[in-house]
Amino acid sequence: MELLSPYRRRIDDLDDQIMELFSQRFAIIREVAELKNKHNIPAVLQDRVDEVRERNAATGAEKGIDPDFVRKLYTLIIDESCDLEDRLMGHKK
pLDDT digits (tens, 9 = 90+) for 19-32: 999 999 999 999 99
Cα–Cα dist 26/80, whole Å: 9
Domain encompassing residue 33: 2-88
Domain count, the chain: 1
CA neighbor of 88 nearest in space, from 30, 48, 25: 30
Predicted model pTM: 0.86
Q: Is residue 29 part of a domain?
A: yes
Q: Is residue 93 part of a domain?
A: no
DSSP 66: -
Q: Is residue 7 part of a domain?
A: yes
Q: Is residue 28 part of a domain?
A: yes
Asked whether the beta carbons of 50 and 58 are under 8 A apart, the reply is no
Domain harbouring 73, CATH code: 1.20.59.10
pLDDT digits (tens, 9 = 90+) for 26-83: 999 999 999 999 999 998 999 999 999 999 999 999 999 999 999 999 999 999 999 9
